[in-house]
Structure 1
Amino acid sequence: MTTLSERAAAAAGRPVQDTPPVDGYPPAVDEHPSTMPDLGEYEPGPDDPEMVPVHLAWLRVRRDVRAIAKGEQYNGGGTRFNFRGVDTVVNCFGPVTLRHGVNVLPSAVEAEYRDTTTSKGNKMRECTARVTWLIVGPMGDTLTLQTQGEALDSADKGTAKAQSVALRVLLLTSGLTPTHDKDPDASYIERGNEAPVRSAESYRDEILDKKTPPGRLQQIGYELGNLRMLGSRVQNETGEWETLDDLGRRIYGERTGGGS
């Protein structure tokens, strides 16, 4: 009659050991061999990503993600602001990294904790986590990066939250992911009053003013670009219609002695 261990080995497809057990225990079976299969001759299939270095694969990920807007809003404790949440960022990067054969893996986590209280006296646990990440490309080469995340929690979720924040920071910073929000330099604030919006004609007059230096002309071009007014048409010094962009370039060229 076979033993229980022999029947279990046969059911699992393992060879039955012929050597007798030592001290009542069956001999150990190495189910995890130390040698890995040789992938040197591996040929990617039609659905596999292109075999490119990790820096190029990550560049393609960035190109496909393009931008993530601040579409979520926090409104509490008298504070309100827009932000990009962890789930939103991961949902954007996840499918794209899969398409390009890029893995983002945490390789080490260093966490620090301290007890704190809220303004209402509730006890909280603060976690600060420094996470070391490996960005692995389709060829197996890697980039090593580090980010930190902080989180407060009243139970046992502080570490997970801090690591999630660190992941969001990693994807947004290493991806240089823009928001496509309006440039804050496109407007300015005057103390006590809201800054008026300048008309196209006022910009035309400043461009044509002979006292306006070339440096200011360049700055006007930047302002018009942020205000999306470069295509505004105005009557120039000869009464002809011309866009502010063309007018500014022409006057700048005349005053600097160069082309437009």
Structure 2
Amino acid sequence: MGLRENAAAAAGRTLDTDELLDELEAERSTPAPDPMADYEPGDGDPEMVPVHIAWLRVRKEVRAIAKGEQYNGGGTRFNFRGVDTVVNTFGPVTLKHGINVFPVDVDATYRDTTTSKGNKMRECTVTVSWMVMGPKGDTLPALLKSQGEALDSADKGTAKAQSVALRVLLLNGGLTPTHDRDPDADRHERGADPIRPAVSYVDEVCDPRTSTGRLRQIHHELKTTRQLGALVTNEVGEEEPIGDLVVRLGKERAAGGAE
């Protein structure tokens, strides 16, 4: 019973319907008390600023993360910024400024694959929705999303992929530069594409499943690279110019209704 109803009851009367509705509406429209209103930061606690200000302070302090790690395997070498490096950089700074990052939704897909050496692996790709919360408990107006993928031979693929997604979130959301040399500072002339040798077409040309349309395309490729006269071993083990082989088999398949 509200104050007006108590007063009315003490006076020996009741509130009419309109007065009751007004009372309920007034109670509903009263804002909930701010739980942080009387909070005073202690020693080492972050300053109570809005989340976007706290995140800006994180960015100002992190500044840049260089690509200080190197992958060198399978004939490939490149520099990168690893998950541990990024988290170790952002972790203490977000703690200092009262920023919390929470995964609130994870959408994962999986597929089986193999490495170049034939080892069986499980590939996981995730899309993670993140909530970024500031020291006052307020959050950025929209959930942030990032993706990550990872290969693993056991049961760690999902955890690895989510770690990669976190790295992507921190680097992209923090607009974190590398301070590396600008790739546009160097200019390289693109070389000509290597010419596919005539002999590499033979198996496809002799395959009865190859359509006449594909044979016409092969003939055009060979003509463009001036290889129509190149001698190859045909389907019966005899030498024949590949251009003649393509035309002959194309006519045979067209006559037989193969498309």
Do both proteins adopt the same fold according to a TM-score greater than 0.5, normalized to the shorter chain?
yes
**Partner residue in 2 for 1:179:** 178
1:82-231 to structure 2, matched below 5 A, reads: 82-143=79-140, 144-190=143-189
Partners of 1:191 and 1:155 lie apart in 2 by 41
Q: Is the 8 A contact 2:36 2:136 kept in 1?
A: no
Offset at 1:191? Answer: 6.4
**Corresponding position of 1:55:** 52
Within-5 A mapping of 1:232-243:
none
Cα distance in 1 for partners of 2:81, 2:190 equals 31
Q: 2:184 is aligned with what amino acid?
A: D
Please give the per-residue CA displacement for 1:14-48, whole angstroms capped at 9, x wherever unaligned: xxxxxxxxxxxxxxxxxxxxxxx954422222321
d(CA) in 1 for partners of 2:112, 2:189: 43
Deviation at 1:180, TM superposition (A): 0.3
Equivalent in the alignment of 1:19: none
Distance 1:86 1:153 in 2: 16
Structure 1 residue 42 corresponds to structure 2 residue 45: no
What is the alpha-carbon distance in structure 2 between the residues aligned to residue 106 and residue 164 of structure 1? 11
- Write the letter of the residue equivalent to 2:162: Q
Distance 1:42 1:159, change over 3 A: same
Partner letter of residue 168 of structure 2? Answer: V
In structure 2, relative to structure 1, the CA distance for the partners of 1:191 and 1:170 (3 Å cut) is closer
**1:83-133 CA distances to partner (integer Å, 9 max, x unpaired)?**
000000001101100110101111111111111111221111010111111
SS in 2 for 1:161: helix
The alignment partner of 2:92 has SS state of: helix
Residue identity matched to 2:138: D
Q: Report the RMSD for the aligned CA atoms in angstroms.
A: 1.6
Report the structure number with the largest CA radius of gyration: 2
Percent identity, aligned pairs only, is 78
Q: How far apart are the structure 2 equivalents of 1:186 and 1:177?
A: 20
- Does residue 59 of structure 2 align to residue 74 of structure 1? no
| Regions of 4+ moved over 4 Å | none
Return the alpha-carbon distance in structure 1 between the equivalents of residues 118 and 97 of structure 2. Answer: 48
After alignment, is 57-66 or 118-127 more displaced? 118-127
Q: Which moved more, 1:180-189 or 1:123-132?
A: 180-189
CA displacement 1:135-172 (0-9 Å, x = unmatched): 11011111220101000000000000000000000000
**Contact 2:127–2:147 at 8 Å: present in 1 too?**
yes
Deviation readout 1:32-89 (Å, 9 max, x if unpaired): xxxxx95442222232111111111111100100000000000111111000000000
Looking at structure 2, the residues matched to 93 and 121 of structure 1 have their Cα atoms a distance apart, in angstroms, of 38
Gaps of 5+ in 2: 1-33, 192-259
SS in structure 2 opposite 1:176?
coil
The structure with the largest helix share of the pair is 2
Instruction: State how far apart, in whole Å, the 1-side matches of 2:45 and 2:75 are.
Output: 50
- CA distance in 1: counterparts of 2:134 and 2:190, whole angstroms: 52
Deviation at residue 188 of structure 1 after TM alignment: 2.2
Determine the structure 2 residue equivalent to 1:227. none
CA change 1:122–1:55 in 2 (3 A) is: same
Matched residue SS, 1:92: helix
Q: What is the rounded CA distance, in whole Å, between the counterparts of 1:53 and 1:145 in structure 2?
A: 17
Alignment partners' CA distance in 1, 2:74 and 2:80: 16
Task: Compute the displacement of 1:186 (Å).
Answer: 2.2
For residue 51 of structure 1, give the secondary structure of its aligned residue in structure 2.
Answer: coil
Taking the aligned partners of 1:108 and 1:191, their CA distance within structure 2 comes to 44
Partner SS for 1:112? strand
